[in-house]
Amino acid sequence: MIHPTYPLPADFQTRMCAMLGPDYPSFLASYKKPRENGLRVNPLKTTPGEFQRSCPFSLEKIPWTENGFFYGQEARPAQHPLYRCGLYYLQEPSAMAPAALLPVQPGDRVLDLCAAPGGKATELGARLDGQGLLVANDPSSTRAKALLRNLESFGVSNCFVTNESPAHLADAFPGFFDKILVDAPCSGEGMFRKEPAAIKTWSLEKSDSCAKMQREILRHAVHMLAPGGLLLYSTCTFAPIENEGSAAYVLETFPEMDLLPLPKEHGFSPGMPAWGNEDPRLERCLRLWPHRCRGEGHFLALFQKDGLKETDNKKRKRQKKDQKISRTERKLLEDFLSPFIPALSMPFDWERVEIRGDRAYLLPEGLPPVKGLKFLRNGLFLGELKKNRFEPSQPLAMTLTARAPARLDLPCTDARIDRYLHGESLSVSADGCTVASGWALLCVEGSPLGWGKLVNGTFKNKYPAGWR
């Protein structure tokens, strides 16, 4: 509900009344209702059905996404151990629609251009299922760090996390991506109920400046889209200049781009040509209104670029790249990783293993040379090579499944889980772990949480300080 300290701005109310007409009282009344809470299940680690059957709090299906659920105000999902295992992501229900409506398939080359903190990027990465490439970018270094953490927690292994401007990315990836998501920075009107403090920074002028920024971002996104590729543009605002106005800009400026129809169901409404340039194709866009669906305000437009999509064979030829590692490095990695490879949630290819300094990475497939770009992570960080031994990484732990050969599996109610998350070592009975000594995964009811090293009945904690 709108906080009494932050009433809706008069200019906002005047514009919304003019836009909605007889619907305006219902729209205004929606601000007196509590916001909806949602979580999205991670298909890399479980299925929606399995999660719903074992979930300790009540869930209700969100109709516009296969793996999203409403949960009640009384639930505390962020405090549950399975959240720390990356089994689900907490996300506002309407915000799940953009990634759900961009049809990403395993093997695609995907760009999330404005990706932090990662709500949509984690879903796109999960649907790639370890195949193809996800480039997840945010120009803010602080926000990019949060983005990386969420992707690693989700077990997304095939990502290239960048901290760049759209212009620099466009120079590096011309005509490269099969699918692009632009969840653009906007005036945030659709989040007023969720984040009342956003009202303080709102103005009509802010919408104008956001629209200019959005069109600059879209210009670079179109440049990076491959022939036949799809670009989904979304905002969390009601402002026509940022929504139909920006969609109309793409249609007018890039004749090779066309709008595809999006489903008008679940209370979703069509775009309004009169709020753009009168192009009837703008009706193919979607508007999500808080008084018509169970979520906050959103706008979506799905574009397709003219031309034939590149064949899979051509993609593979372009992706071929040799990686060199020494025999000693290869043996250290094989000795540790070989038993765990069957438990990885993605394909493992030794040709894509790269050593940088003392760190080992599994590179994503299909990434071309990217000299000069600022990035936080290229592929899956496997671990570190130290004095003739290998120490596995936390991101590697998060990509593993319950099939891991060395593991200590605890029920959600075990008090040792909380102690582990706070960095403490644990006592383990003789039959409590699948191995008597050495590296093992701590799992919560089959879902990996992090590494430990078993020594004389003590599970020495290897959970990174930065994850606690």
Sequence-distant (6+) residues with CB within 8 A of 16 are 24, 27, 28, 238
Give me the mean pLDDT over the 303-318 stretch: 68
CB of 46 within 8 A of CB of 87? yes
**Rounded-to-integer distance, Cα 135 and Cα 326, Å:** 28
Q: What is the pLDDT of residue 3?
A: 61
Q: Which of 106-115, 232-241, 402-411, 458-467 has the lowest mean pLDDT?
A: 402-411
Residue 447 lies in a domain: yes
- Residue 194's CB is within 10 A of a number of other CB atoms, namely 19
> Does residue 173 have a pLDDT over 70?
yes
Hey, what are 60's tokens?
């209700």
CB 418 within 8 A of CB 427: no
> Which CATH number characterizes residue 445's domain?
2.30.130.60
Residue 426 one-letter amino acid: L
CA atoms of 407 and 107, how far apart (whole Å): 31
The model's pLDDT over 400-428, given as tens digits with 9 standing for 90+, comes to 987 788 899 999 999 999 999 999 999 99
Number of domains making up the chain: 1
* pLDDT for position 344: 85
Q: What is the extent of the structural domain holding 468?
A: 402-468
281 in a structural domain: no
Whether residue 176 is predicted with pLDDT greater than 50 in this model: the reply is yes
Domain membership flag for residue 338: no
> Is 420 a member of any domain?
yes
Residue 244 within any structural domain of the chain:
no
Residues belonging to the active site: 236
Residues 28-48 have pLDDT tens digits of 999 999 999 999 999 999 999
* Residue 120 tokens, joined: 């949509």
Query: Would you give the distance in Å from CA 218 to the centre of its chain?
Result: 20
Q: What is the pLDDT of residue 56?
A: 85
User: Which pTM value belongs to this model?
Assistant: 0.95
For residue 117, whether the previous peptide bond is cis, meaning omega lies within 30 degrees of 0, is yes
| Identity at 76, one-letter amino acid code | R
Give the pLDDT confidence score for residue 319 in this predicted structure: 44
Q: How much is the average pLDDT of 142-162?
A: 97
The mean of the pLDDT values for the chain is 93
Task: Write out pLDDT tens, residues 42-91.
Answer: 999 999 999 999 898 999 999 999 999 999 989 999 999 999 999 999 99
The answer as to whether 145 is a domain residue is no
In the prediction, which pLDDT does 246 show? 98
How much is the pLDDT for 318? Answer: 42
Answer yes or no: is pLDDT of 322 > 70: no
Q: How far is CA 107 from CA 91, 179, 318, 387, in A?
A: 25, 11, 13, 37
CB-based contact 98:181 (threshold 8 Å):
yes
Q: Which of 19, 25, 32 minimizes the C-alpha distance to 238?
A: 19
Domain-located, residue 201? no
> Is residue 219 in a domain?
no
Rounded CA separation 101/67 (Å): 13
**What number of other Cβ atoms are within 10 A of residue 118's Cβ?**
28
Instruction: Determine how β-strand 407-410 pairs with β-strand 438-444.
Output: parallel
414's tokens: 């075990």
- Per DSSP, the residues of 296-323 read --EEEEEEEESSPPPPHHHHHHHH----
Number of Cβ within 10 Å of residue 209's Cβ equals 12
pLDDT band of residue 5 (cuts 50, 70, 90) is low
Task: Compute the distance between CA of residue 142 and CA of residue 119 in angstroms, rounded to an integer.
Answer: 16
